[in-house]
Amino acid sequence: MAFGLVSLRRRQSTKPAAGPHRRLKTAGKLVNREVSGPMQARSPDGAGAGADRAAIEANLAGFRRIPMQRRGLRAASVALCPVVQQGALHLLITRRAASLRNHPGQWALPGGSRDPGESVEETARRELREETGVEVQAADVLGVLDDYVTRSGYLITPVVVWGGPVVTAMTGPASEVAKIHVIPLADLDQPPQLLRIPESDRPVLRLPLLAGFVHAPTAAFIYQFCQLARHGRTTRVSHFDQPVFAWR
């Protein structure tokens, strides 16, 4: 069974290459990560993609997020990046590499620890570029969702960034990203399953994904995003817990 964990990592000191949609190198070798479907732009109806972006942006505009400030937590950001494939909106989700020490092979959103001097939005954009090769500009940030405190000591801020009709190959470092999935947003927009566990009085949230499940915090971010971006509903998720194996 697949469980959902946000990819939270200490960034290696790398400089982003110039130009949009750069390819990433690992150990001097270009790495192409498999994508779960051919990524292509909409056929010439760019206005359709623009309407999708405008609708999401309008729903996010009136949202009042709940920030958190707690000492001793490591600040991190994740990117919720809607992209256009075959005329429909999809979301980028990754599988963590099996060789990783923490949470190998788990579902994740592009994301990681915040560097000194970075804003929450800058971290999300950088991590998106580093883990998928998709580069977005500051103007492509559509909004910021509620903060979430993990059991492992992170304070995560989810940032919604518009990817649009990505037409270049998506790549990520093999040491961190096993596969980049492009999941239809309609498939992710499902009622959540709430699990009770003896270790917590808070319900654990999970969503079905392919042949398994993705759990909070990743599932919580996806659920809040779908409720807000697709339906204009303000739904809070920071009270949902993670499965016990994710507490460490």
The pLDDT tens digits of the residues spanning 6-38 come to: 444 444 433 333 333 333 222 222 223 333 433
- The CB-based long-range contact list for 51-55 (8 Å cut-off, 24+ gap) reads 52/82, 52/84, 52/89, 53/142, 53/162, 53/164, 55/229
Q: State the average pLDDT over residues 57-62.
A: 95
Residues in Cβ contact with 3 at an 8 Å cutoff, skipping those fewer than 6 apart = 106, 107, 206, 212, 213, 214, 215, 243, 245, 246
* Residue 231's pLDDT band (cuts 50, 70, 90): very high
**Cα R_g (the chain), whole angstroms:** 17
What is the Cα–Cα distance from 219 to 213, expressed in whole angstroms? 9
The CA distance from 226 to 242, in Å, is 19
Q: Give 85-102 as a 3 state SS string.
A: ECCEEEEEEEEECCCCCC
In the chain, what are the helix, strand and coil shares in percent, each to the nearest 5? Answer: 20, 30, 50
Is 10 in a helix, a strand, or coil?
coil
pLDDT of residue 187 exceeding 90: yes
User: Residue 199: is its pLDDT beyond 60?
Assistant: yes
Question: How many other β-carbons are positioned within 10 Å of the β-carbon of residue 82?
Answer: 22
Instruction: Of 16-25, 129-138, 209-218, 225-234, give the lowest mean pLDDT range.
Output: 16-25
pLDDT at 41 over 80: no
Give percent above pLDDT 70 in the chain: 79
The packing angle between helices 46-61 and 218-231, to 10°, is: 100
- Rounded Cα distance, 23 and 3, in Å: 28
This model's pTM is above 0.95 = no
The average confidence (pLDDT) of the chain is 82
pLDDT for 52 beyond 90: yes
Task: Report d(CA 205, CA 238) in Å as an integer.
Answer: 10
The confidence band for 57, taking pLDDT boundaries of 50, 70 and 90, is very high
Closest of 10, 1, 2 to residue 153, by C-alpha:
10
Q: What was the pLDDT predicted at 174?
A: 85
- Is 170:35 a contact under the CB 8 Å cutoff? yes
Place of tokens 């969503």: 207
